[in-house]
Amino acid sequence: LPVPAPGRTPPRALTIAGSDSGGGAGIQADLRTMAMSGVHACVAVAAVTMQNTTGVTGVHPVPPEIVAGQIRTVVQDIGVQAAKTGMVAEAPIIEAIVETCIGIGIGGGRGSAESHDGAPRCAVPLVVDPVCASMHGDPLLKPHSLAALRDLLVPLADLVTPNLDEVRLLTGVDVTDGATQRDAARALVGLGARWALVTGGHLRAGADGPTGESTDLLFDGRDWFEFSGPRVHTGDDHGGGDTLAAAITCALATGAAMPDAVAHGKDWVTRCLRWAYPLGAGHGPVSPLW
Ligand code: PLP
């Protein structure tokens, strides 16, 4: 990504996400990646979690009007070139985010304002990381809010970046190999996302071939792009999904085309997995602090 110049305003990105008090995932992961990428990060906090490396012990959703207000306030003054969502906690917050984003031109998915009024407009690209649960299985999305995530937020997305559990929840497709990975990508684009990225990192080792590579698949309803990288074996991968989506968002904020942004994100998260460190008694975080 471009190196920032002294005194020059850098690209700006907005993260709409949850706080991880343990500093590993969520907003804290986004902020680390954005700062290390030379991108100014604006934040709309959607939820506060009580969490450490062993799990989540409490969630406090932020009132929807406060989430919407953070987004509007930031965009009016500072302006952003890309945005991402992470943990959005519950349906009323999702509804507020979607209404606000449509109103101010964030999100170029098939459910966006661009599609609504038929007039082409220069939407700010939106990456939707459809966070449903922590790696320990703690719910980060209220049980009856999945429909809002699937039917309102995903259709606004320029890119949706689910992990394999989230793919199953959103589409019903159980990804076990390259063929089902393609089925999942088709189903996600069918939900309205402009692009879908189905990562292979959590596929059973060996399911994606004997090479020890992890292959991510990107699809826009027409063209397929494959991104392969070495599978990094670590138990310390907390915040990996957030970091991938944040790095892609940074590249989009600098004007990169989607396939280039995803290639950058894949490379970034692979490095962050190599620099992951042990922390506490549970799973340590991936780290961009190389
Ligand atoms: N906490 C928050 C606030 C998150 O946004 C996320 C993931 O997006 C997590 C926890 C879970 O991260 P992981 O699945 O890497 O444990």
Band (pLDDT 50/70/90 cuts) for residue 204 is low
pLDDT for 166 beyond 90: yes
Between 248 and 214, the higher pLDDT residue: 248
* φ and ψ of 60, to 5 deg: -120, 105
Q: What is the pLDDT of residue 118?
A: 56
**Residue 4 is assigned to a structural domain of this protein:** no
pLDDT tier for residue 201 given thresholds of 50, 70 and 90: confident
Q: What is the pLDDT of residue 113?
A: 62
* pLDDT, tens digit (0-9, with 9 covering 90-100), for 18-44: 999 999 999 999 999 999 999 999 999
Is the model's pLDDT at 205 over the cut of 70? no
**Is 86 close to ligand 1, i.e. is its CB under 6 Å away?**
yes
Instruction: Read off the pLDDT of each residue in 110-123 and give the average, rounded to a whole number.
Output: 65
Degrees to nearest 5, angle at CA 273 with 267 and 275: 105
| Residue 247 domain-assigned (yes or no) | yes
Q: Which of 15, 16, 19, 20 to mutate to test the pocket of ligand 1 (most atoms within 8 A of CB)?
A: 20
Residue type, 135: M
- pLDDT at residue number 208: 47
**C-beta of 18 in contact with ligand 1 (< 6 A):** yes
Q: What is the reported pTM?
A: 0.95
Compute the distance between CA of residue 246 and CA of residue 30 in angstroms, rounded to an integer. Answer: 5
Instruction: Please name the residue ranges forming H helices in 16-174.
Output: 26-36, 64-77, 91-104, 113-116, 146-148, 164-171
* Residue 213 · residue 228 · CB < 8 Å: yes
Residue 104 within a domain: yes
Q: How far apart are CA 47 and CA 60, in angstroms?
A: 6
Is 90 exceeded by the pLDDT of residue 206? no
Q: pLDDT by residue (tens digit) across 209-246?
A: 445 788 999 999 999 999 999 889 899 999 999 999 99
pLDDT band at 117 (very low <50, low <70, confident <90, very high): low
Domain that holds residue 141: 12-274
Mean per-residue pLDDT, 74-101: 98
In-domain check, residue 238: yes
pLDDT value for 3:
85
The yes-or-no verdict on residue 121 having pLDDT over 80 is no
| Average pLDDT score, the chain | 93
Domain count, the chain: 1
- Residue at 287 is within a domain: no
Q: Is residue 151 part of a domain?
A: yes
Residue 265 forms part of a structural domain: yes
Q: What is the pLDDT of residue 210?
A: 47
Task: Quick: pLDDT tens for 251-263.
Answer: 999 999 999 999 9
**Token digits for 266?**
């894949």
252 lies in some domain: yes
Q: Is the CB of 239 under 6 A from ligand 1?
A: yes
Cβ(84) – ligand 1 distance below 6 Å:
no
Measured in residues, the chain has a length of: 290
CATH number reported for the structural domain that contains residue 117 in this entry = 3.40.1190.20
Asked if this assembly's ipTM is beyond 0.90, the reply is yes
**45 pLDDT exceeds 90?**
yes
Supply the residue whose CA is at minimum distance from atom 2 of ligand 1: 26
